[in-house]
Amino acid sequence: MVKLTKNQLEEQINELSQYKGRHTELITVYISAGYDVNAVQRQLEAEKSTAKNIKSTATRKNVIDALEKIVRHLKTLKFTPENGSALFAGNISQTEGQDDLRMWDIEPPEPVMIRMYRCDKDFVLDPLKEMLAAGETYALLVMDRKEATIGRLTGKRVEFLQKMTSGVPSKVKAGGQSAQRFHRITEGLTKEFYKRIADEMKNLFYDDPKLKGILIGGPIPTKDEFVDGEYLMNKLQKLIIGVKDQGDTSESGLHELVENSNDILASQEITKEKKILDKFFESLGQTPDKTAYKYEDVRKSLEYGAVSLLLISKDLEFSKIKELRDLAISAGTEIEMISTETEEGDQFGKLSGAGAFLRFKLEN
């Protein structure tokens, strides 16, 4: 089994998403990295016994056949692949009474973090889809004057990284000079805490080439004091893309921050896509001999190795997506999948659904 690249994984996901079970009979198995493949084999043997209780004869047969196919495959493995494995099996025939039993065993480009067995009408693909979104990361910080929690958002996965406490004492009743002295002490401790947070953020993220932005959450005015005080290094300060009001500064607060920032995260992806398409349409108008947009022209350009960047609409029919992706992968060409969620993406899909920036002009 060969470890897939992200481009190959996306192609595989697109293929698997096309298949629907006639009943609840498509099997999905995820084996996490480092988990004992023999234990999974024993679990699936037990599931075969449970499947014998399925009332429908056809469904029972399809489920047992799919499980047996996976079990036979697992018996050939001496150990779990480095990144774990995602297995899919089932009768994908859409004609009643006909069999088309197939199985896929995928080692993804990143470690599988979950263990799962599922029997359903569709293959469970969300864990693999999350890996496709994992090329860029966001730093997460939730803080008040007492504590700070730092995390990382990769794809849809929130990872806890660090917990810090300030040691700033709670307010006490005091008057006169004692109150002023207490205030000076707490302010000094708070500033030191902010500096320690900034140092930890630098240690964790400053040299991260995948870092796309920083999200900060916390109560008023703490988070604002931290941001406005520019405690972060210049490079990191410029990457702050969102500051949200919230009270929870614990580990669960990282998840709340992501939920509160969905609008920002969505706009980041949309902005990236809009910039690519704006450049494409501008190139199409100003340098049409260095831009291809008709499917056949794009395919020909890929065959000649002339494409520097391939654009494919997610609405393009699957067979054409696969053909273009195969050619691009063979040529080492960068690929961008374009959604139809923006006006530009919809326009691109209606234009032809395929486009390319060319390294050089092709002769007719």
The CATH 3.30.1330.30 domain(s) of the chain lie at 269-358
Classify the C-alpha dihedral 168-171-177-183 as positive or negative: positive
pLDDT tens per residue across span 298-348: 999 999 999 999 999 988 988 898 899 889 878 888 888 888 877 888 999
Asked if 66 and 90 touch (Cβ cutoff 8 Å), the reply is yes
DSSP 107: B
The per-residue pLDDT for range 78-107, each reduced to its tens digit, is 889 999 999 999 999 888 778 899 999 999
The arrangement of secondary structure in 137-165+191-260, i.e. its CATH architecture, is: 2-Layer Sandwich (3.30)
- Give ranges for CATH 3.30.420.60 in the chain: 137-165+191-260
Q: Are 355 and 311 in contact (CB under 8 A)?
A: yes
Is 80 exceeded by the pLDDT of residue 364? no
The answer to whether residue 157 scores a pLDDT higher than 80 is no
Residue 311: exposure state from Cβ atoms within 10 A (0-12, 13-18, ≥19): buried
| Cα angle, residue 75 at apex, residues 71 and 77 outer, rounded to 5° | 120
Q: What is the model's pLDDT at position 92?
A: 93
Residue 139: which of 249, 247, 217, 195 has the closest Cα? 217
pLDDT of residue 139: 97
What is the token pair recorded at 199? 């140092």
Across-strand partners of 313?
Answer: 338
Within the chain, all domains assigned CATH 3.30.960.10 are found at 6-132
CA 7 from centroid of its chain's CA atoms: 13
Name the strand (E) or helix (H) holding 66. Answer: helix 57-74
Which pLDDT score is estimated for 200? 96
Separation CA 107–CA 130 (nearest Å) = 15
Q: Measured between alpha carbons, how far is 7 from 329 in angstroms, rounded to an integer?
A: 8
Residue 206 has what pLDDT?
A: 93
* Superfamily classification of domain 269-358: Ribosomal protein L30/S12 (3.30.1330.30)
Q: Residues 262, 235: contact at Cβ < 8 Å? A: no
Confidence tier at 214 by pLDDT (50, 70, 90): very high
Lowest-pLDDT choice from 148-157, 168-177, 290-299, 300-309: 168-177
Polymer length in residues for the chain: 364
Report the alpha-carbon distance of residue 52 to residue 86 in Å, rounded. Answer: 24
pLDDT of 155 > 80? The answer is no
- Give the confidence band of 134 by pLDDT, cuts at 50, 70, 90: low
pLDDT at 65 over 90: yes
Give the per-residue pLDDT at 175.
52
The CATH number of the domain covering residues in 6-132: 3.30.960.10
